[in-house]
Amino acid sequence: MTDPFARPGKIIAIHLSYASRADQRGRRPAHPSYFFKAPSSVAASGGVVERPAGTELLAFEGEIALIIGDPARRVSLEDAWSHVASVTAANDLGLYDLRANDKGSNVRSKGGDGFTPLGPALIDARTVDPAGLRVRTWVNGELRQDDTSAGLIFPLAQFVADLSQHFTLETGDVILTGTPAGSSVIVPGDVVEVEVDAPDAPGAPTSGRLITTVTQGDVPFDGSLGSVPSVDDLQRTEAWGSREDAGLEPKTALLSPDLRAKLERAPTAGLSSQLRKRGQHSCFIDGVAANIPGTKIVGTARTLRFIPAREDLFARHGGGYNAQKRLFDAVGDGEVIVIEARGDATTGTLGDILALRAKTRGAAGVVTDGGVRDFDEVTRIGLPVFSHGPHPSVLGRKHVPWELDVTIGCGGAAVQPGDIIVGDGDGVVVVPPHLAEEVVDATLAQEEEDTWIAAQVEAGHPVDGLFPMNAQWRAKYEAER
């Protein structure tokens, strides 16, 4: 199978199959979906793959490959594995520069010569548990992927049974079973190694290391013959695995438990004052109020941008699995969804179903400078939402959900993914991550001082010289402190 001239009749690949990859992409399929790869894309271990001239996003995908033995047509799930003769390693290489042009078919983005290395050795499928296979990928000796078939959303046998409903799987056909999280971009000079093994099976059988070296091509695509490579930030994010890895956003650390606890104690009024002292004068999201009185939210921002409604754009971007739904499916524990609605409160920017999804995902809350549908039900669900208030109208009346995890403007404040969002009864502030520790420590120190001043006022002292403290009062405060 690793001889590039001993080509399989069909190569069928799975779009999205591992839970780790689905979580990374923010979407989990209900059923497997497939695409074909050209048999001429098969290559042997030790070969090279060319990154075509004028492209930048060649990505590796380490995978478990199934080699069909006895032909399979309308086989049951229970019988399907008996039609698999062998298992080996595969690298389902793809060129994201052509992905948008292919519109899901992957004919050009995945079908290039050398884009399906297989091997080097075959594992007898009869000797292994299909749920006990492991796939690992290294780039230049660094481990990038490490997952097992137990992490699949669908069992391996299901691919065989499902595909056999539609056509005959013939002897030698190859099924590429999807890649786990960790796939990313490779560049000329990189060496990619993929290994599939069954560490718990007798003898721990292995495919050995499937080795592919990336080279740079020098022949550009001819635009007079068809579409040419093109990339945007979405393709860069998908290829690299995240906006941060693609260099589109600064890398941000998760809030440490200590920092989160301090931010929980810090009022937004105090944070705003300390930010202004440090030259941050546009840190406040104006005009929003909490749906749950007394609520406090702290978390890192995930952003969503709506553009003004336009019927043709809404037809293409408003339906299906749009940017709004993708973000609410992907928001993580302790994160805050921040929505740019251009201050237009005359339509809802979320409703009860999406609020329930965000609550289930562990989101800390939502901030929107637009309206909220199903306002009472969203409140009952218990998701803190800071907004311009309720409005019954649907999204498409004023907005098109356009993109997620980009820099946005919300209530007059610029918000980047990873910014720290703090909201309370006074409103919502945006704290740049690099200032967070300094600002929150200063805020809590000021709160301690203000509490002491309040006690003096309550005891009957006038505020003159006390608020702010003159030297005499300062000395007394420091002595008692």
Q: Are 73 and 164 in contact (CB under 8 A)?
A: yes
pLDDT value at residue 243: 78
> Beta-strand (E) ranges in 325-480?
335-340, 365-368, 385-387, 399-404, 408-410, 413-415, 420-424, 427-431
pLDDT single digits (tens) 79-95 = 999 999 999 999 999 99
Rounded distance between C-alpha atoms, residue 77 and residue 161, angstroms: 5
Tell me: is residue 353 an annotated ligand-binding position.
Answer: yes
Count CB atoms within 10 A of the CB of residue 324: 24
Question: Residue 4: its pLDDT value, please?
Answer: 43
Encoding tokens for residue 306?
Answer: 């709506």
AA letter at 190: D
Give me 421's structure tokens.
């969002």
Integer CA distances (angstroms), 359 to 13, 326, 393, 429, in order? 34, 15, 22, 21
Can you say whether the dihedral through the CA atoms of 430, 436, 442, 446 is positive or negative? positive
Q: Where are the alpha helices (DSSP H) in 30-180?
A: 77-80, 99-102, 107-110, 156-164
Look at the pTM and tell me if it is higher than 0.75.
no
Beta bridge partners of 216: 51
Cβ–Cβ < 8 Å for 105, 94: no
Strand segments (E) across 114-243: 116-117, 123-124, 134-139, 142-148, 174-176, 185-186, 191-197, 210-216
Q: Please, what are the domains in the chain?
A: 11-240 (3.90.850.10), 257-437 (3.50.30.40)
CA dist., res. 298 & res. 476, Å (int): 35
Per-residue pLDDT of the chain (481 residues; tens, 9 = 90+): 444 447 899 999 999 999 999 888 877 899 999 999 999 999 999 999 999 998 999 999 999 999 999 999 999 999 999 999 999 999 999 999 998 888 778 999 999 999 999 999 999 999 999 999 999 999 999 999 999 999 999 999 999 999 999 999 999 999 999 999 999 999 999 999 999 999 999 999 999 999 999 999 999 899 899 888 988 888 888 899 887 788 776 555 568 899 999 999 999 999 999 999 999 998 999 999 999 999 999 999 999 999 999 998 888 888 888 889 989 988 989 999 999 999 999 999 999 999 999 999 999 999 999 999 999 999 999 999 999 999 999 888 899 999 988 899 999 999 999 999 999 999 999 999 999 999 999 999 888 888 888 888 998 988 888 888 888 888 888 888 7
**Residue 178 among known ligand-binding residues:** no
* Ligand-binding site membership of 70 (annotated): no
Tell me if 329 is assigned to a ligand binding site: no
What type of residue sits at position 144? R
How far apart CA 351 and CA 349 sit, in angstroms, is 7
| Residue 305 annotated in ligand binding | no
* 3-class SS of residue 428: strand
pLDDT tens, residue by residue, 329-341: 889 899 999 999 9
Q: List the beta bridge partners of residue 212.
A: 47, 192
| SS3 call for 474 | helix
Pair 340, 306: CB distance under 8 Å: yes
209 is in an annotated binding site: no
